[in-house]
Copies of this chain bind each other. A is one copy, B any other.
Amino acid sequence: MAKVRQKTERRERVLECALKIFAEKGFQDATISEISKAAQVSDATVYEYFKTKEELLFSIPEQITESSIRESEKVLPFLRGAEQKLRALVQSYVTTYERNPEYTALIMLHLKTSRNFLQTKAYEVVQVAARMMLACIREGIETRTFRKDTDPYLVRAMILGTIEHLFTRKHLMGNPPELMSQVDPLVDLILDGIRAKGLPAGTPSPPCCWMMTAPAAEEKKKS
């Protein structure tokens, strides 16, 4: 039925506009009127789709995060070795964020802040991704690729923290302009720090570009 299609389209338009506006002004400074006007629907219509303003906010990450995770899960099994996997995961993060700058700003600046967000479905998905990375690091330790005394939590915190820091900087100050080129230096530096000493230090795992084909949010909808 055409109605259903239209409703879905409107709902997504609302989500898109909400993303843009929340990302730009923050949750509190954005108004429903503003969003509804941008989405060319009435205030009341927004409330047809989302019970409250906060539910609207928390509904934004759902699709995008989930699709991004699914992608990683598909690719990971084909990669050999903890180093390759770790690099792939980092690249996946950065790719997703680079392709969805507004979404990234929302996450970095506004959602991470919110205690309520931690109890969200969307946050669970984030946790899944974080756990994948943890598993990857642990695998490296078990297979003796990484040093025995590596603290996997610290390593993960370093990777995630660095990515977060860089994207936040980029969003607020426009610098650095792109982050893809930072993936390999970052991963190399970390690997150098945690690689078991017995291994030939001069064998860096090759930079990989397979993630280039990972789907961005916009492309997803068409399929």
Contact = CB atoms under 8 A, between A and B. Distances in A.
Contacts of A165: 157-158, 160-161, 164-165
Interface of A is mostly: helix
Interface of A: 26, 28-29, 109-110, 112-113, 115, 118, 151, 153-155, 157-158, 160-166, 168-169, 172-173, 176, 182, 185-186, 188-194, 197, 201
Please give the count of copies of this chain that the complex contains. Answer: 4
A189 B190 contact: yes
A172 B115 contact: yes
A153 B173 contact: no
Contacts of A189: 154-155, 158, 190, 193-194
Nearest to A190: B193
20 contacts: A28-B28, A28-B29, A109-B112, A109-B113, A115-B172, A118-B173, A151-B182, A153-B176, A154-B189, A157-B169, A158-B162, A161-B165, A161-B166, A162-B162, A164-B164, A164-B165, A165-B165, A188-B193, A189-B193, A193-B193
A172 B118 contact: yes
What 9 A-B pairs come out closest when comparing CB atoms?
A: A161-B165, A161-B161, A189-B193, A28-B28, A192-B193, A193-B193, A161-B162, A158-B162, A109-B113
Given A112-B168, A158-B165, A197-B201, 13 more contacts: A109-B113, A151-B182, A154-B182, A154-B189, A157-B169, A161-B162, A164-B165, A189-B190, A189-B193, A189-B194, A190-B193, A192-B193, A192-B194
